[in-house]
Structure 1
Amino acid sequence: MLGIVFNPVSYSGRSTARMKHVRDILDARGIEYIYRETVRPGDGVALGAELAESCDTIIAAGGDGTVFETLNGFFGKDVTLMVLPYGSGNDAAMSIGVAGLTDEQLVDVLLAGRTRKMDCVRTNGDELSIVHSCVGIVSNIIRDFKNPANARKSYMSTMLTSVRQSRPRRYHIRTSTVDREFFADFVSVQNIVTSGGGMVVCPEALDDDGKFDLLVIEHKTVLRKYLNLVSMVRKKLTKQRNVFVERTDRVEIEALDGQETCSLDGELREITTLNVEIAGQIDVIVP
């Protein structure tokens, strides 16, 4: 059985017509499914868990937040994930390969049923993600983009303001080979290439190798901070001399300057410590 979790407010509600179109296509092809909509933040977890009791494939229709919640509902069950990229940020869909497809193409991919494995990351022994766990500039961009006060501003304007206002902080980072303090603009446990709606953070990242990429942008100067942003646009961030990268499967990140905002696949949390590890893999439907 097929299950669908749709977030009707994703992409400011502009994906409702696309969801109806997909349902019409499924109905025309005689495909049975169970359809659920989220109403409030957190609903996707409960709906993912509910559908996992009777469905072997679950569609998360929305942005990265919808995928995040749905994943946290069904993880550990014998369920295959399909993503409909209907959000403002669709990084998970980009990594899976379904971003930019038409509704007809998405249904064709779904019915073809081709799958592969994708790593899942567990943060602080609790929540699961497939994009990133990060603090610093990118989490600040996501926070400011979600702020209703910035609703009329362009993404680029919000991003530049966030970068300008972000300040470096101290972190103690421990892996199997690293135990040191960093003064950093950005720290990310990066499971896939992009974050924040398509920003190429770690071009070398692999989402199915049983590891993630720990990436740290060490603070040097304000000018270097902006040059790092330019290098990200050019997909060359990891080549910068002030960028530390290590591929690993476990890391502890302690925020030495106190509590701050963390992004888990675009969902914001307040943390002082991040303990991140590979939790396992899920099956995802791919083109």
Structure 2
Amino acid sequence: MSAARRALASAAPRALLLANPHGGRGHGPRVAESARRRLEAAGWSVELVLTRYAGHGAELAAALPPGELDALCVVGGDGSLREVLDGLLAGRRASTQGVCLVPSGTGNALAAELELAGPGDAIERLLASSQRLIDVLRVETGAGVSHHACDLLGLGLAADAARWAEHLRWLGRPRYAVGSALAALVEPSRNMRVVFDDGADVFEGPVDLLIGSNTRHTGAGMLVAPEARLDDGLMDVLLVRGMSRARRCLLLPRLGRGELGGVPELLTRRVRSLEVELREELLVNLDGDLLPAGRLRAEVLPRALRLLA
């Protein structure tokens, strides 16, 4: 390559495409290749990397030198983005790296919140220099381990439903609704002590469902937090007290449609932080990923992510 062409290439905007080859029924590589062609046609210098194992995206994001990229494009669903956030925000309260979500997963709550029409729309917004700062949830699950989420954290039936859905991947998107129904029918309530905003309010007792949400919808499309905003510095909390399985089957579909009024078992809060003390180790649902937790603390990192969308 001549010196002139090298200089031109170095001046081109730079993007790294991180693609989950297993997300969205294996469509990630095809979506990523299409995104690469569009960016290169617009004059960008693009590198495409397929993640090889769980946690690989976090490792790659953590190793990025500051200022090297104009865009870090995550090709996948909410879980793929969550993994990259763990790398970008390790030991930090905010990241200056611009991130573009190119949705190709089965759970795309953040893409729905951003009203992205699909992968192509995400790339066109990147090329149009559209961007915004959004909040991120930092969640400590014990032993000094921190994780991050853009959408929500969920305990009780929110995690049980995701666990059931993992066994039903062959169903595609309907697996979330089926998993939720199965969890409501068979899973027990759990005893928890939930502390809001460092002791400003406390709940203690049996809990069926606990969600702390940054987005209005879940990855399954349920409208669990109609008033949630991506950049208000707060998480919207829904806590459903323990109830009979018959009562669950009546009420949970209503909650999934955002019909929160007139439900005596429901407690809602808008908080900056919460802590959950558990009688036993449970799974917590973070943007669709299931992680073990014996004690949980979550806080909002205001406007911590620069989203190119």
> Given the two structures, how large is their TM-score scaled by the length of structure 1?
0.91
Alignment map for 1:187-266 (pairs within 5 Å) = 187-237=210-260, 240-256=263-279, 258-266=280-288
- Alignment partner of 1:82 is 2:100: yes
Q: What secondary structure does 1:195 align onto?
A: coil
Deviation at 1:77, TM superposition (A): 3.6
Q: What secondary structure does 2:238 align onto?
A: strand
- Alignment partner of 1:45 is 2:58: yes
Amino acid at match of 1:20: E
Runs of 4+ in structure 1 deviating by more than 6 angstroms, as ranges, are none
Q: Distance in 2 between matches of 1:39 and 1:55?
A: 21
Cα deviation per residue 1:263-284 (whole Å; 9 max; x = unaligned)? 1111111112111112232111
Q: Distance in 1 between matches of 2:227 and 2:100?
A: 24
Determine if contact 1:109/1:285 at 8 Å carries over to the other structure.
yes
- In the alignment, structure 1 segments of 5+ residues that lack a partner are none
Q: What secondary structure does 1:44 align onto?
A: helix
Cα deviation per residue 1:116-170 (whole Å; 9 max; x = unaligned)? 11101111161111111211112111112223xx343451333322221221111
Which residue number corresponds to residue 301 of structure 2?
279
Q: Distance in 1 between matches of 2:180 and 2:238?
A: 20
Which residue number corresponds to residue 9 of structure 1?
22
- Alignment partner of 1:152 is 2:170: yes
Q: Distance in 1 between matches of 2:88 and 2:50?
A: 16
Cα deviation per residue 1:198-255 (whole Å; 9 max; x = unaligned)? 1111111112111111210112322221122221343214653321111111111111
Which residue number corresponds to residue 152 of structure 2?
132
Which residue number corresponds to residue 137 of structure 2?
121
Paired residue total: 281
Which residue number corresponds to residue 24 of structure 1?
37
Q: What secondary structure does 1:226 align onto?
A: helix
Amino acid at match of 2:278: A
Determine if contact 2:210/2:237 at 8 Å carries over to the other structure.
yes
Q: Distance in 1 between matches of 2:95 and 2:225?
A: 30
Q: What secondary structure does 1:193 align onto?
A: coil
Cα deviation per residue 1:174-204 (whole Å; 9 max; x = unaligned)? 1242123031111111111122421111111
- Structure having the higher Rg: 2
Q: Distance in 2 between matches of 1:255 and 1:237?
A: 26
Give RMSD over aligned pairs. 1.9
Amino acid at match of 1:146: E
Q: What secondary structure does 1:272 align onto?
A: strand
Determine if contact 1:80/1:284 at 8 Å carries over to the other structure.
yes
Q: Distance in 1 between matches of 2:84 and 2:256?
A: 30
Greater shift, 189-198 or 269-278, is seen at 189-198
Change (3 A) 1:15 1:35: closer
> Given the two structures, how large is their TM-score scaled by the length of structure 2?
0.85
Q: Distance in 2 between matches of 1:227 and 1:61?
A: 37
Cα deviation per residue 1:85-125 (whole Å; 9 max; x = unaligned)? 11010112222332x3352x322111111111110111116
Q: Distance in 1 between matches of 2:169 and 2:213?
A: 27
Amino acid at match of 1:229: L
